[in-house]
Amino acid sequence: MEITLSRRNAEAEKIAEKIFEDAFLASDEPAARKLANSDRKMPLEGIVQTVLLLDLAVRLDEPEFFAWTGQWTMVMMSRHMPFMSEEQVRKYLIMFCLIMKKHLWWLENDEQRTRACAMLDAAADRVSKTVCTEQYHDYISEEPYAAEKAEYIGCLLKRDIRGAGRCIMTAVERLSVKDVYTKIIQEVMYAIGEMWLQGKITVAQEHYCTAATQTIVAQVYPRLIDVPRDKGRVVIACIGSELHELGARMISDILESEGWDSIFLGAAVPLPDLISVVQEEKPQVCILSVALQQGVLECIETVAALKNEFPDLIVAVGGHAFSVLRNGAGYAGADIFASSLDDLIEQMNAAV
* pLDDT at position 316 over 70: yes
pLDDT, tens digit, 9 for 90 and up, residues 13-57:
888 888 887 766 666 666 666 666 666 676 788 788 889 999 999
pLDDT, tens digit, 9 for 90 and up, residues 260-284:
999 999 999 999 999 999 999 999 9
Measure the CA–CA gap between 270 and 250, rounded to whole angstroms: 21
* pLDDT at position 329 over 70: yes
- Cα–Cα separations (whole angstroms), residue 141 to 132, 146, 189, 238, 337: 20, 5, 14, 31, 30
pLDDT band at 239 (very low <50, low <70, confident <90, very high): confident
**DSSP class of 312:** T
Of 284, 297, 282, 287, whose CA–CA distance to 265 is shortest?
287
Measure the CA–CA gap between 126 and 173, rounded to whole angstroms: 46
In the chain, % of residues over pLDDT 90: 63
Measure the CA–CA gap between 133 and 80, rounded to whole angstroms: 14
pLDDT at 3: 43
> Of 76-90, 181-195, 224-238, 299-313, where does mean pLDDT reach its minimum?
76-90
Bigger pLDDT: 233 vs 49: 233
* pLDDT at position 1 over 50: no
* pLDDT at position 336 over 90: yes
Of 100, 123, 115, 117, whose CA–CA distance to 16 is shortest?
100
DSSP letter string, 138-160: --SSSSSSHHHHHHHHHHHHTT-
In terms of DSSP H, where are the helices of 260-333? 271-281, 296-309, 328-331
Of 301, 305, 291, whose CA–CA distance to 331 is shortest?
301
> Of 50-64, 128-142, 169-183, where does mean pLDDT reach its minimum?
128-142
Measure the CA–CA gap between 340 and 346, rounded to whole angstroms: 10
Chain centre to alpha carbon of residue 36: 27
pLDDT at 228: 94
pLDDT, tens digit, 9 for 90 and up, residues 105-120:
889 999 999 999 999 9
What are the φ/ψ torsions at residue 107 (nearest 5 degrees)?
-75, 160
pLDDT, tens digit, 9 for 90 and up, residues 219-230:
999 999 999 999
